[in-house]
């Protein structure tokens, strides 16, 4: 966290909803507003408009690089949509991918030499796009001028900066043959310069980096953005290993984590909304779905989840993270803890990945507590544990442990521990 300069290092980040998995490219102003209105009614605090709002962008083959509003989708312009959403009491954010271009775009037709390519060879495409040569100042300036014009127009509260392909065909039309080997290094310096310009021109912006998920989760990005999208794999069970590995190096506050739709887009799994939220609460929390398609019962859970996020936000963002159990075929459950610096509070999250026949309760030994402190326990999500009714001391919880009941597939619970007589 010492790398992070954003004011959001200390401030509470709004709970957001992103429309990507809810609509993909198929939306218009009415559809986005209906999602935002439903989200606002549930207590969600910010709406993020993802890919598809610009150029001739109705799929991933067209329009990338043309950073002007798609007036067929947003007939009143982005500012009108932003104003309507702010009228709901929400903040407004936008997705961009500044480093990339589709061959079928006005930008590429005007400046084919702005794409990274080896002269005389057909460049390889990935997600139907090429990489812009942002080692070149004229390319950086033009792209940032266009994007910042939009961001200033709508007074954006949040930006998600994506980067959805790797570099290949490394060649720059601006470098001599002898200097082609400098391209990769100069490219990264160009990224840093562009992001520095963004955060200087919009100092109050909540800025999130992304690269097909977490492909660019590194300290260099944290210098510019306080959070990074952890993975485009949004299934809650898949996220257990992903978030475990990321949290070994990076603070939970830096990990973008959302409640996604079901069946999940990547693996088709159907997880309870409680488990999807309990996993996402171990990160920078939000939603990634079409709220207008949720059942009434699911919608009723969202305000409870948001209250839970706000209640434990400081603990989650600033506490110490402990891995208790990593799920495997032999032990199909996942457990982690977050303990406050003063050891007066803790959250324990238990996720049953797969149920097994003829199994009893699992004994889980906690970590990080004060051995001489008594703790009151409260089940804040999931099935209430019978062992939480009495005061128990830290040494007992860490040595003898607690019995957690066998749960069904993909079920979970969250336990809150509070020190006796603690002012929390």
The C-alpha atoms of residue 332 and residue 319 are separated, in whole angstroms, by: 26
The C-alpha atoms of residue 56 and residue 406 are separated, in whole angstroms, by: 52
Question: Around 38, how many Cα atoms within 13 Å sit in the side-chain half-sphere?
Answer: 22
Active site residue 162: yes
* CA 255 and chain centroid, separation: 6
Q: Which two structure tokens, joined as six digits, stand for 402?
A: 């607690």
Strand 158-161 and strand 206-209: the pairing is parallel
The C-alpha atoms of residue 146 and residue 300 are separated, in whole angstroms, by: 41
Pick from 268, 200, 135, 212: nearest CA to 5: 200
In the set 50, 51, 157, 162, the catalytic residue is 162
Q: Which residues pair with 207 in a beta bridge?
A: 159
Give the CA dihedral 232, 236, 242, 244, nearest 10 degrees: 150
Alpha-carbon Rg of the chain, whole angstroms?
Answer: 23
In the set 232, 235, 290, 334, the catalytic residue is 232
Do residues 134 and 165 lie in contact, with contact meaning Cβ atoms separated by under 8 Å?
no
Active site residue 372: no
Q: What are phi and psi of 72, to 5 degrees?
A: -70, -35
> Would you please indicate which residues are annotated as catalytic (active-site) residues?
162, 232
């Amino acid at each position: 966290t010492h790398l992070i300069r954003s004011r959001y290092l200390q401030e509470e980040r709004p709970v957001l909803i992103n429309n990507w998995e809810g609509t993909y490219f198929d939306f218009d102003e009415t559809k986005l507003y209906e999602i935002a209105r439903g989200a606002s009614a549930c207590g969600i605090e910010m709406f993020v408009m993802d890919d598809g709002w610009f150029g001739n962008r109705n799929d991933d083959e067209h329009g990338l690089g043309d950073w002007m509003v798609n007036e067929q989708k947003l007939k009143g312009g982005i500012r009108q949509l932003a104003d309507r959403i702010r009228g709901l009491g929400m903040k407004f954010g936008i997705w961009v991918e500044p480093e990339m271009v589709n061959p079928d775009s006005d930008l590429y037709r005007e400046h084919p030499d702005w794409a990274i390519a080896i002269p005389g060879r057909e460049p390889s495409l990935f997600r139907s796009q090429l990489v812009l040569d942002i080692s070149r100042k004229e390319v950086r300036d033009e792209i940032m001028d266009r994007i910042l014009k939009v961001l200033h127009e709508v007074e954006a509260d949040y930006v998600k900066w994506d980067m959805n392909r790797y570099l290949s065909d490394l060649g720059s039309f601006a470098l001599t043959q002898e200097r082609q080997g400098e391209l990769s290094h100069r490219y990264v310096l160009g990224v840093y310069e562009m992001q520095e310009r963004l955060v200087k021109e919009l100092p109050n912006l909540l800025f999130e980096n992304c690269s097909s998920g977490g492909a660019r989760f590194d300290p260099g990005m944290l210098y510019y953005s306080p959070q990074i999208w952890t993975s485009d794999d949004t299934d809650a069970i898949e996220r257990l290993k992903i978030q475990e590995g990321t949290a070994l190096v990076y603070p939970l506050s830096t990990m973008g984590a959302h409640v996604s739709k079901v069946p999940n887009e990547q693996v088709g799994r159907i997880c309870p909304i409680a488990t999807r939220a309990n996993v996402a609460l171990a990160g920078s929390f939000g939603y990634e779905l079409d709220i207008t398609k949720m059942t009434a019962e699911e919608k009723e859970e969202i305000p409870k989840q948001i209250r839970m996020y706000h209640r434990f936000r400081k603990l989650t963002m600033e506490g110490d993270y402990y891995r208790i159990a990593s799920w495997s075929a032999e032990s199909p459950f996942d457990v982690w803890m977050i303990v406050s610096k003063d050891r007066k509070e803790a959250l324990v999250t238990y996720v049953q990945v797969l149920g097994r026949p003829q199994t009893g309760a699992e004994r889980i030994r906690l970590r990080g507590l004060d051995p001489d402190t008594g703790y009151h326990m409260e089940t804040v999500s999931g099935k209430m544990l019978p062992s939480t009714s009495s005061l128990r001391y830290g040494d007992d919880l860490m040595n003898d442990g607690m019995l957690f009941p066998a749960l069904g597939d993909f079920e979970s619970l969250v336990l809150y521990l509070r020190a006796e007589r603690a002012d929390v």
